[in-house]
Structure 1
Amino acid sequence: MTTQTTAATAVRPEFPRPDWQRADWHNLNGAWAFRFDPQDEGSEASWQLSPAATFDREITVPFSWASPLSGIGENTAGIAWYRRTVEWQPKQRDSRLFLRFGAVDYTCEAWVNGVLAGVHHGGYGTFEFEVTGAWLAGGVNTIVVRAEDRDHGYQARGKQGYGEIRGIWQPVWLEARPRTFVRDAKFETLIDGTVHVRTRVEAQEAGEATMSFDFAQGEAKHEVRLTLAQGLNEVETTFRVSSPKLWSPESPYLYEGALRLDAAGDNDVVQTYFGIREIGSARFGERGYRWITLNGKPVYLNGTLDQSYHETGYFTYPSDEEMRDEIYLMKRLGLNFVRIHIKPEEPRKLYWADKLGILVMEDMPCFWGAPDEQARGAYEREAREVIERDWNHPSIFSWVMFNETWGLKTEGAIGGLTGDAAQASSYRPDTQEWVRSMYRWAKRLDSTRLVEDNSPCNWDHVETDLNTWHFYINGYEQLRGHVEEVVAKAVPGSAHNFIGGNVQTDAPLMNSECGNVWGIEGGAGDSDLAWHYRYMMNEFRRHDKLCGFVFTEFRDVTNEFNGYYRLDGTEKEFGYEDFVPGMTVADLHTPDFVVIDAPPCQTIAAGESATVTLLRSSFSDRYHGQTLTVAWELSYDRIGTRTTVGAGTISAPWEGYGVETLSELAVLMPKEDAVAVLAIRLLDGDGKIVTRNFTTFDVRGDLTSRAQGDGLFIQLPVIGFGGQSFAHQWQAVGGAKTAGAGAGRFAYDIVLPSHDDQTLIGEVEILFEAAACRPLARHIEGAKLVHHGISMMHGASAEVEHNPNTYYMTDEVRHESRVHVLVDGERIGSFALPDDPADSRGVLSWHYQAKPNRLDEAGSYGYLCKVKVPGRQAAKLDLRRSFKLELEAEDGGLSLYGRNAGRYPIDLLIRCR
């Protein structure tokens, strides 16, 4: 390829910084000439000066050269060179010209027409070089970039294992500015409408100037006269917005407009915006602990961990629309908060968080080597760039300086120690003090937000505004006990969750990572999360002291599969709507919530009464002073017919923030085998639904109770077949389920009631619960349990297909099959089996799991199949009183569910009437 490369600007054409935008700019995204330099020859040979130097490939900027969208797709650490030619001139002849980079990993050197523009170190910060003197007016200009990424231990790399960011990975553009211009501005707001602005003005020469602010079509206007010195000037000013509209996730009002500087014939206009809001923490009532506040009121943070990873662009989104959709997908779940994990977010995605309304906790990227002087210096430089760049986003409410002590441990700190002692000793006191200094530095730099020293999984805070912790625990009793213990130990002066002699203050308590995937032995196996998620939300909302959580995670990534969505954004089915009509995940995230203080499923005898405690959890004043209504209903599926056992309403005075007991509700169970559902709806004064919730009961009766008025039932365990013809066949859920992969059949020998028990058999009906069977590698080749450890953070394969816990959660991908019912070799019916599903509807497959951290096709369930034996065949059966039943599957396989598995509390049933 020659040195001449013309870039199409259709790639990410929007201005990269809507929070700080000038009109006169030129997009440099698109095609660049590209060349790897494994031996570092280019510097010695001065490739930046030689038009004859061959750049033999083409890359699409701004995508990492490791990503598919770059057109290179090679995860090669080291050096690469970029080159392109540009014919563009600023509108004003005497403008100053800047070459701007969203981010380059890790070291960037840039030349314009052979003149060195500058050098930058750091993979996440935005930077610019002034190139006014090197730019050729009215001619062809050549830009050359050398990027070097060696994965050194001191580099702030973050969690790049899903797909490396190498070289240029955020937009590149040229920007023209007048000779005197506003370098940046920081907006600080108070909810009374006060707006304090700190700006830096770069003046070409000394003189008088006017700075004016005009936002929200004149709602916020201000002007100030300045006397500028030559060079960099710091300017502070304050103005007041009357009747301010406050920014919040529910009402994300932005004061959009322009900041203008007029100085000696130079006119600099920057389109920008601010949101009026205050972040803080406060005690309420007689509580000895704080809650997080937004605009002076408590806010319950329903959040998710966002790896912010795209399957083709890696950490660079292909389009602005996809970044907008990310925020939309979070909000439709009822979330009001996202934690961007171990990296700063792209400015345009932060813009959509501002615009659509979602709070952001933004992490600093970590390094993976030892916390030595070089690593600390590199980190400090990059952390400043991140905070300076993202200051004005009202969505950002918190900075997280470190995560899970990554990069903070010194190997071999104290010899002879093992286990927890060794772990603690490797996080040395001098490193702890450095972390404290980083927390305090960030607080000095930005006092408007909450700062966390280290988001911990090792109980090792030092000093922090947020008392957070991580856990990955599966199983209701285990999770409940863990949360209760943490809440009980969250007391000012307690050393719990702190290290090095440091103790807790009254800082707000919240969870900053949770989920069920890592609580399952072997790690990242794909499984249903809906069952666990509902009871986890109930456990969180039981506790007045807890004010939020971060669920891991928003989307699946390449080796973690516990997202609300798949990696490609397709839906997972939680199944809640089948328990309470209209219920979605968003019902578990409402500020006003009814807690059902009960296990997700309880075993109880038919006809007995159960008492359930209901709690009010309020983190909104919307309904305070009102009396709401809790409407409840107990129902069950009576072999295909929904039956209501009881229903009623409870008056619910809605007074004040926090958690209080509402009522104890006694419900009478049905008088037969059933999966009973207690559905709860909270209604406002107009009868509109505020939130929904439910719990379930495994009601144990007997065949006699079920058979009343329905004839005589014969039941046979699904594993009681006399033969089968599948290539691969196995039992699951403790033997309550049987499955066969591919085409094949299960055969059962059925003995009907004798003439003494039933004189005439006039009708025979066959009932069973069945689904398709999607075989995994573990079914065919054998299971493989791999303990991944920290390698998962660096992209190690999760080997999901071999993980003994894997069973795919229901989603948009379907695995279909068909089952044929044969009686004495004659087909009497067929059923389409739409899928091989697993979600919260598989109540019995969850309830009868033997171990909470070892899943046995948990949550799996099927479809109710009912077929009557034709009369002519039933007549023969009346004589013989036995027959051979075969359930024959096509290529999609067959799963059969017994009494203690699936969705329906039935075995293979034969009903005779």
Structure 2
Amino acid sequence: MNSTYPPALLWAFLFLPITIFSQTDIPLPEHPRPDFERADWQNLNGTWDFAFDPEDTGLSSGWEKGDRNFSKKILVPFPWGSKLSGLEDEADIGWYQKEITVPAGWRNKRTFLTIGASDWETHVWLDGQLLGSHRGGYVPFSFELTELLKYGTAQKLVIRVDDKRRDFTLYGKQGYGNARGIWQTIYLEARGTDYLDAVHVLPDIDKNTATVTAYLPETSTRDLELQLEIPNAEPAISQKVTIPAGEFKYSVEIPMPNAHRWSLEDPFLYDLEATLGSDQVSTYFGMRKVSVMNMPGTEYPYIALNNEPIYVQLALDQSYHPEGFYTFPSDQFMKEEIERSKSIGLNGIRVHIKVEVPRKLYWADKLGLLVMADLPNSWGEPDEKMQAASEYTLREMIERDYNHPSIFSWIVFNETWGLRTEVKEGDKMVKKYLPTTQNWVASMYYLAKSLDPTRLVEDNSICYGAGHTETDINSWHAYLPGWEWDEHLKNISDNTYAGSDFDFEDGFQQGKQPNINSECGNVWGYDGSTGDVDWSWDYHRMMNTFRIFPKIAGWLYTEHHDVINEWNGYWRFDRTEKETGLGDMVEGMSLNDLHAPLYISTGNEICLTAKGGSEVKVPLYISAMTGDALGPLELHYELHTTNYIGETEKNHAGTLKIDYQPWMQEKLTELSVPLPDVAGTGNLKLVLKDQSGKTLHRNFMLFEIESDQELEKTDVVSIAPNAFSRSDWSKKQWEVLDGLKVNGAGKGYFEYELEIPDDVKVNRSKQSYLLFELSAKQQFVKDMEEFDNDQDYMLGSRVAPSSNPNAYPMTDETATPSTVSITVDGTKMMTAILPDDPADHRGFLSWHHQPQDRKIREGGSYGYLIKVPVNKRMLRQAAKDGKLIVRIAAEDNGGVAIYGKSFGQYAVDPSLVLKY
């Protein structure tokens, strides 16, 4: 878990440095565009001279001439202000300067400078001569240097970037870290006298063809010969065509017999080499089809890949790096981002309001992961400048990324950000999503469809208060506590049908679009967001509930990794691991089980309070999101219980036969589960297997068992956690939910007086011990000072993850242990190290007893079962005195938390146990 963070630490506390470059390193040395690559190129990443221009005097002072010594250094392509750039953010305007030498071997070609992305207005000079300028922060642009070159001789390249904040620019979520200046690879390349501006491939798996369209930078003045090679086709394909004079683009349909299809399981890529005279470009494509079709046996439209429906299970990928912001430190890191998603069973990501780095898209293509691609948003109003910026960037991102088979949809707008106009209503000014803007949004949908007919397009990924216009996907956002998902999904499912105006703006209505969630989770589902908290409990309830509403064709969890203001990622911001605790609930269980194609759900409830000795009816649903013919299946179940003194046993087991069919969505026979008549907890473990015994899915249902029956030959003397007689703590002491748990932070102790009843036969006991559930206890920021309710979470406030009143940081790779001693009547009986202050699925009683009021009080927190032997001499003295004095002390500053029977993971109070 995260360490205790002093309130003064805001940004710097978050992450330790994980990437170091020397002055001679070239970061990101790989070609930035494996989807559009020429052999003759020169990477200009690395150390550049740099100067800030806070007063904007550089132009009037002639800085573009290259004769000024810039006093700073910057590591390109990291945005200034990011740690990897080596510079603090000191101004809105920055100047770059570097000597370049173009090889003499390029003399018979045309040489261009390409910048992958630079935010926002960029001017480039070579030896004081202006090459050109560009406005926009996300897409590549090039300038020709040929006429100014002195081959084999050093020349001065100067770049000025103006990143003043403008309301109409597509700023996105740069509150997480500004993409200031150059933030993608800058390079030189040699092109032919006649050259290709773009090469797009439109695959058609139904016709077994691939249509290649070659684009020229301008209309040709003469016939041009184009050679197309697909060397890894079987057999290899070679085709020569002539682009006639007067054309600026030309298409040719190439037969692809027995085409090897691109899929998530087998992401095969065809290489394509396009040669126009002396210009040769290498690209690739995947033979795949994106469409919409019904789930077999239903009228429910689903997104389909290669004519097979896919239940989309995606993560919102804010695509930020703690040290590089928009820019990742290495190609390996980008590859691992895709591998992470696949490793937990996701089939896609939504790259959120950022035009993604091409090499990361390449790894999605190469490894087989679907991508929803967002157009970044502005934060102003949808005026003429904003609309022009949006249209330009949409065109350019589709042109650049057309060949990536991983991209299956374009999302034009998100949550109506930048689409509301301030208007006067009565005596007030309000922001409204005007009908004129809605019509423009619909036109942007049609623009995207005209530019790319091969993918789905979404007009607006909607959140509360706005609806769709024209769209291929009927998506919606919802952030809810776990218990609210059943009602919410039922409402959406009931209102999803062709002709419905639910979630659509006036004048628009649903057609046969797939209905999917496109953002979900608990992060914004609680008052003021959750902060850093165990999400696994609410996540489990949410997954269980989604799988019993098959009309909803998938979901998208927020999010892939933590970012500045949202700490609910599958991974930390530095990509270290979090621990869900699922493997302790069912052996081998992981997030993959919650994303499995075959899923056994118990419904929204995953923990029930039940009477001991009763027979509980557990609902079961099967959700098969696969067409695989697996034959009959078996659901194996076992009930394991832990009683009120921490003893575990297996109570009940059985097997349920399931007559499985592909795409099966059914409620199964309820399980009747007999509970033992003893207080404690129960875990009904569910394991779905095929005929060969292969495990397909794991799940569980938990029970809090209430009973007044006492264990045989056992006496238990218990006390509530908050019934201590003395305490003293160096930092702070407090309790949770009226004493279900007590916390002491720093160094200190809790002392209890356990009253020994007269009928306790201490002399006859064969075993006696003290029993506690204890953990270390950090003092989080929220425990130190009053929470600042004015913090702007949405734009990325740099606050400690534990400053939110709902926060209780989730178990991760960083442990915060505490050394505790336990004394009885002044004699030290044990010193133990409590490994951590954890919070995850194992703290199910802490979740189960949360009031349903959209606040979280240390949800998911739990401790470790500690047994302390007590000898008969002490027991006899205690019986004589009528009490046993027990002190639990933190000897270092690690603190201690003491859990009661309704909190943590064990239904135990602090107790003295005597067995006869």
Q: Same fold (TM over 0.5)?
A: yes
Aligned counterpart for 2:639 among listed residues 593, 611, 634: 634
Quick one: which amino acid aligns to residue 303 of structure 2?
I
Q: Which residue does the alignment assign to 1:754?
A: 758
Aligned counterpart for 1:271 among listed residues 261, 269, 282: 282
Aligned counterpart for 2:166 among listed residues 146, 152, 159: 152
Q: Which residue does the alignment assign to 1:141?
A: 155
Q: Which residue does the alignment assign to 1:177?
A: 191
Gaps of 5+ in 1: 1-5
Aligned counterpart for 1:563 among listed residues 534, 548, 569: 569
Aligned counterpart for 1:63 among listed residues 78, 86, 111: 78
| Bigger Cα displacement from structure 2, 194-203 vs 739-748 | 194-203
> Matches of 2:790 and 2:626 in 1, distance apart?
43
Deviation at residue 304 of structure 1 after TM alignment: 0.6
When residues 414 and 199 of structure 1 are mapped into structure 2, their CA distance, relative to the original with a 3 A threshold, is: farther
Deviation at residue 669 of structure 1 after TM alignment: 1.2
Give the match's secondary structure for 1:440: helix
Deviation at residue 761 of structure 1 after TM alignment: 4.5
Q: Which residue does the alignment assign to 1:186?
A: 200
When residues 9 and 750 of structure 1 are mapped into structure 2, their CA distance, relative to the original with a 3 A threshold, is: closer
Aligned counterpart for 2:237 among listed residues 221, 238, 242: 221
> Matches of 1:473 and 1:598 in 2, distance apart?
13
> Matches of 1:25 and 1:250 in 2, distance apart?
34
Give yes or no for the alignment of 1:30 onto 2:46. Answer: yes
Contact 2:243 2:250 (8 Å CA) reproduced: no
Deviation at residue 274 of structure 1 after TM alignment: 0.8
Give the match's secondary structure for 1:839: strand
Quick one: which amino acid aligns to residue 99 of structure 1?
L
Gaps of 5+ in 2: 1-21
Q: Which residue does the alignment assign to 1:735?
A: 739
Aligned counterpart for 2:388 among listed residues 377, 380, 384: 377
The 5-angstrom pairing of residues 293-692 of structure 1 reads 293-415=304-426, 426-457=432-463, 458-476=465-483, 478-623=484-629, 626-638=631-643, 639-657=645-663, 659-692=665-698
> Matches of 2:419 and 2:727 in 1, distance apart?
57
Give yes or no for the alignment of 1:84 onto 2:95. Answer: no
Give yes or no for the alignment of 1:246 onto 2:253. Answer: no
Q: Which residue does the alignment assign to 1:166?
A: 180
> Matches of 1:753 and 1:762 in 2, distance apart?
18
> Matches of 1:287 and 1:841 in 2, distance apart?
38
Give the match's secondary structure for 2:688: strand
| Bigger Cα displacement from structure 2, 357-366 vs 137-146 | 137-146
Under a length normalisation based on structure 1, what TM-score does the superposition of the two structures give? 0.94
Q: Which residue does the alignment assign to 1:898?
A: 900
Deviation at residue 337 of structure 1 after TM alignment: 0.7
Contact 1:564 1:572 (8 Å CA) reproduced: yes
Deviation at residue 827 of structure 1 after TM alignment: 1.0
| Bigger Cα displacement from structure 2, 900-909 vs 407-416 | 407-416
> Matches of 1:627 and 1:273 in 2, distance apart?
42
Deviation at residue 802 of structure 1 after TM alignment: 3.5
Deviation at residue 742 of structure 1 after TM alignment: 1.3
Deviation at residue 880 of structure 1 after TM alignment: 4.2
> Matches of 2:373 and 2:341 in 1, distance apart?
16
> Matches of 2:104 and 2:221 in 1, distance apart?
21
Give the match's secondary structure for 1:325: helix
**Cα RMSD between the aligned structures?**
2.0
Contact 2:104 2:152 (8 Å CA) reproduced: no
Which deviations, in whole Å up to 9, do the C-alpha atoms of 1:609-636 show, x marking residues without a partner?
A: 1112221212211235x11111111112
Deviation at residue 63 of structure 1 after TM alignment: 0.9
Give the match's secondary structure for 1:802: coil
Deviation at residue 810 of structure 1 after TM alignment: 0.7
> Matches of 1:756 and 1:387 in 2, distance apart?
79
Deviation at residue 895 of structure 1 after TM alignment: 0.4
Quick one: which amino acid aligns to residue 686 of structure 1?
S
Contact 1:288 1:506 (8 Å CA) reproduced: no
> Matches of 1:394 and 1:401 in 2, distance apart?
19
Higher relative contact order (CA 8 A, sep 6+): 2
Which deviations, in whole Å up to 9, do the C-alpha atoms of 1:373-401 show, x marking residues without a partner?
A: 11111211111111111111000000000
| Bigger Cα displacement from structure 2, 880-889 vs 507-516 | 880-889
> Matches of 1:731 and 1:572 in 2, distance apart?
26
Contact 1:24 1:91 (8 Å CA) reproduced: no
Deviation at residue 852 of structure 1 after TM alignment: 4.4
Q: How many residues align?
A: 888
Deviation at residue 286 of structure 1 after TM alignment: 6.0
Which deviations, in whole Å up to 9, do the C-alpha atoms of 1:732-769 show, x marking residues without a partner?
A: 13421011111111111122231586774454211110
Give the match's secondary structure for 2:493: helix
Under a length normalisation based on structure 2, what TM-score does the superposition of the two structures give? 0.94
Which deviations, in whole Å up to 9, do the C-alpha atoms of 1:634-662 show, x marking residues without a partner?
A: 11234454311111111122213252223
> Matches of 2:337 and 2:71 in 1, distance apart?
36
> Matches of 1:652 and 1:134 in 2, distance apart?
75
Deviation at residue 486 of structure 1 after TM alignment: 1.4
Deviation at residue 675 of structure 1 after TM alignment: 1.6
> Matches of 1:467 and 1:173 in 2, distance apart?
41
Contact 2:762 2:875 (8 Å CA) reproduced: no
Contact 1:524 1:798 (8 Å CA) reproduced: no
Contact 1:522 1:787 (8 Å CA) reproduced: no
> Matches of 1:116 and 1:847 in 2, distance apart?
66
Deviation at residue 283 of structure 1 after TM alignment: 2.4
Q: Which residue does the alignment assign to 2:16?
A: none
| Bigger Cα displacement from structure 2, 205-214 vs 172-181 | 205-214
| Bigger Cα displacement from structure 2, 187-196 vs 721-730 | 187-196
Quick one: which amino acid aligns to residue 716 of structure 2?
F
Quick one: which amino acid aligns to residue 806 of structure 2?
N
When residues 219 and 841 of structure 1 are mapped into structure 2, their CA distance, relative to the original with a 3 A threshold, is: farther
Q: Which residue does the alignment assign to 2:844?
A: 843
> Matches of 1:655 and 1:234 in 2, distance apart?
49
Q: Which residue does the alignment assign to 2:213?
A: 198
> Matches of 1:376 and 1:516 in 2, distance apart?
33
Q: Which residue does the alignment assign to 2:293?
A: 282
Quick one: which amino acid aligns to residue 758 of structure 2?
S
Quick one: which amino acid aligns to residue 12 of structure 1?
L
| Bigger Cα displacement from structure 2, 40-49 vs 321-330 | 40-49
> Matches of 2:480 and 2:578 in 1, distance apart?
21
Deviation at residue 316 of structure 1 after TM alignment: 0.3
Give yes or no for the alignment of 1:121 onto 2:135. Answer: yes
Contact 1:633 1:680 (8 Å CA) reproduced: yes
Which deviations, in whole Å up to 9, do the C-alpha atoms of 1:395-430 show, x marking residues without a partner?
A: 000000000100000012544579xxx56xx10110
Deviation at residue 365 of structure 1 after TM alignment: 0.8
Deviation at residue 821 of structure 1 after TM alignment: 1.6
| Bigger Cα displacement from structure 2, 880-889 vs 94-103 | 880-889
> Matches of 1:601 and 1:755 in 2, distance apart?
36
Which deviations, in whole Å up to 9, do the C-alpha atoms of 1:208-248 show, x marking residues without a partner?
A: 52412223265451302214437x63121112223222212
Contact 1:740 1:895 (8 Å CA) reproduced: yes
Give the match's secondary structure for 1:873: helix
Q: Which residue does the alignment assign to 1:721?
A: 724
Quick one: which amino acid aligns to residue 734 of structure 2?
W
> Matches of 2:104 and 2:337 in 1, distance apart?
35
Q: Which residue does the alignment assign to 1:774?
A: 778
> Matches of 1:415 and 1:389 in 2, distance apart?
47
> Matches of 1:112 and 1:319 in 2, distance apart?
29
> Matches of 2:428 and 2:107 in 1, distance apart?
68
Q: Which residue does the alignment assign to 2:814?
A: 813
Q: Which residue does the alignment assign to 1:3?
A: none
When residues 438 and 331 of structure 1 are mapped into structure 2, their CA distance, relative to the original with a 3 A threshold, is: same
The 5-angstrom pairing of residues 820-831 of structure 1 reads 820-831=821-832
Contact 1:750 1:884 (8 Å CA) reproduced: yes
Give the match's secondary structure for 2:448: helix
The 5-angstrom pairing of residues 794-813 of structure 1 reads 794-798=795-799, 800-813=801-814
Give the match's secondary structure for 1:536: helix
